[in-house]
Chain A
Amino acid sequence: MAGKSGRTISATPENVWKKQIFSWEGILVVIFLAVIVLCKLLSPNYTFVNVLREMPKYLTEIFLLFPMAYILMLGEIDISVGSIVCLSATAGCLISNAGVPFGAAAVLTLLVGAACGAVNGLILVKFPELPSMIITLGTQIVFRGIAEIVLGSGGSVSPTNMDGYRMIAGKIGPFPYIFFLVIISAVIFAVVSAKMKYGRSLYAIGSNRRTAFYSGIRVNKVIFIAYTLMGLFAGIAGLFLTSATYAANTTTGKGFEMDAIAMAVFGGIATTGGKGRMVGGVISAFIIICLRIGLGQINMNSQLILVIIGILLICAVLLPNITGSLRLKKRD
């Protein structure tokens, strides 16, 4: 073609291993190991089996991390998920108590969640000029409001037939079922975001929505799917939360959205969109869970644990900025 200068452009990636180790995910692995060592020093009960035993009640939140990471990659946010967990858990209990077999009740729980997510997605796609923060703040109130109306004055409902719920809380050896489900989901979400067209579209939209649209990416479809997935996984979390706590009440899932966002951001997935990797989110989720379990074992005040995790999060977000400005200063 035109005026060829014979210039060649390299298409060989740099040394991959070196890049991996010095990436944010590499640092997270180091932090993860440090947390394990620290907890082990603090608590004699901090053994593999004990940690696994305590894990299920924390693992439900990781279900929210996966689709939340996608939504953040899109440069959007969803703060209604805690309410979706509450509404779907409540609906699940009521459906089950109405005599519906557990299998069907479980599926309906997930569908309620997915429907809530689809509502968020639909509003966002139809009114792209509205910020997702405000829309999901609205639905956060609406979804929890509906759950509170349904729950009535008691404010709580327990499944009368616990058999099904007990079954999904089962274990294979020391590993609870939910652990396997989390790992399988993590792998699928990671592969989709890193290797598939849907994942590439997420990053494209998060980096520059208009260019993505001009390039033929189906922006609305991608956003709608992400929010519906978010709802579906909130439903899954609702189901497993019921199995762990034997009830759904008006405070079920409160604050879950912030935990999911914190895990993702700590994992390097920026709220501005287009950045970060699923792997980082998953590692950071396990860092936070293992730290919570360890500090819980030495009977640390649970509010204090929250303070520590909050400080850790701020440090994690600041770290790249601090090192960045140091580098700039040196160059100047």
Chain B
Amino acid sequence: MSEYVLELKGITKIFPGVKALNQVRFQLRPGEVHALMGENGAGKSTFIKVITGVHRPEEGEIFLEGRKVEFKGPRDAQAAGIAAVYQHPTSYPDLTVTENIFMNHEIKKRGMIQWKEMNREAQKYLDQLDADFKSTAEMGTLSVAQQQMVEIAKAVSTHAKIVILDEPTAALTANESEKLYRIVDKLKDEGVSIIFISHRFEDMYRLATRVTVFRDSQYIGTYEVDKITNADLIRQMVGREISDLYPKPEVKFGKELFRIERFTRTGYFKDVSISVKAGEIVGLTGLVGAGRTEVMEAVCGITGFDEGRVFLEGKEMRIKNPTDAGAAGIILLPEDRQKTGLIMSWGLGRNVTLPILDKFIHKGLIDEKEERSLAKQLLEDVDTKAVTVFDPASSLSGGNQQKVVVAKALAQDNMKVVIMDEPTKGVDVGAKAEIYQIMGELAQKGYAIIMISSEMPEIIGMCDRVYVMCSGRVTGELPRAELAQEKILEYAMEKSAGKEATA
């Protein structure tokens, strides 16, 4: 028996024009949780696809328990006991949990599917994971966290020896993540080896014993989690020094710039009042589903609301649609870059100038030269990694897409209030630092900033004041001096069993 359950040596994978992996190596010990970290585009996903047999490497060898293997396709990897759980579960929403778990390996007798037995088996796996739903539930009715649990149950049902979790906590709330941690612990106790990809340092500290870092398609190193400092790890990932991840500048606040009063939409949120001063960064946190995004989308005229008033510089505003919000200088940077933030098939330049086309119109025609040069300026201001303004948005990494979203907001020079919804979701640590930097600079320039976020470290690191929401209501307000994870969580979960906005 070899020391490692899985070992990869000298793996090189070439895509047309790019070396996605260059002589990469990796070693997985039996029963360990091994974190795989690196910036977006470092080659982690490609590497995972090599392990799961989706991609065949041009060079390199794969050893399973010391034996050399060659995967011709995903089926081979599955048969060898390797299962992967992706960030966005790739399931069949209209089928039941049981059907999803036993997809492609149904229990059959004489060609007939044994439903009763399958439901029972599936329920057994779910119980092992402490799932709070039935195996007969329809997949589409479950939350992302629950769907992920099904995927893990599926991995368990195939008796996988190696389970790969690709950014599993990205879409989860704090207590859902905690549940996932416990499941991972359980799998580990049962002798399963786990590869864990995440941008969150909390995940790594909580779970992993060792961490391997990739950068620019290359293997950088493998470290014991206990023995490497945060700063060292970031330096390995980014390739340069990031002195301070949360560069919170000291800003003297101005007058109150923005205030919403008693915002209510039946079934979504109730009596939400928030105010922001010029130069202040205000956090809006809570569990996913607490109604944070919904409130801000209502404020910006994207969805309707039943009651509520918006004041900008003391004056009451009537905002019926996003066009009104933009004209008033209330700019929302939406959470979902691909669906609501950018047009992925368009070039970066046109994305940036979409809200401000009026600026370039002379005699009814768009002056494209002027449009391009302003777009270039704005994209360079936020340091977007791109070659031309014509590069399609889909060609950029998550972090750079987010910078384009920021540039698009900055393009609107009547901007007064900036609402950033999960601005660093799926963004790697290097780009994260840059986005915080921009946020700080905006505060210094006297904008009012609202950041919706589920990530405790950035809420605590960047905010002057934090509102916590739970079940559609504001349950707490904390000044910077009192920001602490326990306190925020306490408010976030306070009334989850009590009054709801629907009541």
A interface residues, Cβ below 8 angstroms from B: 1-5, 7-14, 191, 195-197, 200, 204, 207-208, 210-218, 274, 331
Contact = CB atoms under 8 A, between A and B. Distances in A.
Given A11-B388, A211-B342, A4 B321 contact: no
B345 A195 contact: no
B16 A2 contact: no
B376 interface: yes
Contacts of A195: 365-366, 368
Contacts of B433: 3
B340 A211 contact: yes
Nearest to B390: A13
A3 B247 CA distance: 12
B339 A211 contact: yes
B327 to A, nearest CB: 8
A211 B341 contact: yes
Interface residues of B, number: 53
B343 A216 contact: no
Given A211-B339, A211-B343, A4 B364 contact: no
Given A9-B348, A208-B343, A217-B354, 14 more contacts: A1-B438, A1-B441, A2-B383, A3-B383, A9-B376, A9-B387, A11-B373, A11-B389, A197-B357, A200-B350, A204-B346, A204-B354, A212-B354, A214-B332
Interface centre among A8, A9, A197, A217, by most B CB within 10 Å?
A9
A10 B388 contact: yes
Interface string B381-404: 111111111100000000000000
A216 B343 CA distance: 14
A1 B383 CA distance: 8
A200 B340 contact: no
Interface of B: 16, 302, 321-323, 325-327, 332, 334, 339-346, 348-350, 354-355, 357-358, 361, 364-366, 368, 372-373, 375-376, 379-390, 408, 433-435, 437-438, 441
B434 A3 contact: yes
Contacts of B339: 208, 210-211
A200 B380 contact: no
Contacts of A8: 380
The 10 A-B pairs of least Cβ separation, nearest first, read: A2-B437, A11-B376, A216-B326, A11-B372, A10-B388, A216-B323, A331-B16, A208-B343, A215-B354, A1-B381
Contact of A213 (B302, B379, B384): B302
Nearest to B322: A216
Select the residue from A7, A211, A217 with max chain B CB neighbours within 10 A.
A211
Nearest to A12: B388
A2 B365 contact: no
Nearest to A207: B343
A7 B387 CA distance: 9
Contacts of A197: 357-358, 361, 366
Contacts of A9: 348, 376, 379-380, 384, 386-389
A129 to B, nearest CB: 14
Contacts of B355: 215-216
A51 to B, nearest CB: 34
A7 B380 contact: yes
A168 to B, nearest CB: 29
Contacts of B383: 1-5, 7
Nearest to B372: A11
Contacts of B381: 1
A169 to B, nearest CB: 33
Nearest to B348: A9
Given A1-B382, A11-B373, A331-B16, A215 B322 contact: yes
Contacts of A11: 349, 372-373, 375-376, 388-389
Contacts of A210: 339-340
A200 B383 CA distance: 26
A311 B358 CA distance: 44
16 contacts: A2-B441, A3-B433, A7-B380, A10-B376, A10-B389, A11-B349, A11-B372, A11-B373, A13-B390, A196-B365, A204-B343, A208-B339, A208-B345, A215-B354, A216-B327, A217-B354
Contacts of B372: 11, 13
A238 B120 CA distance: 67
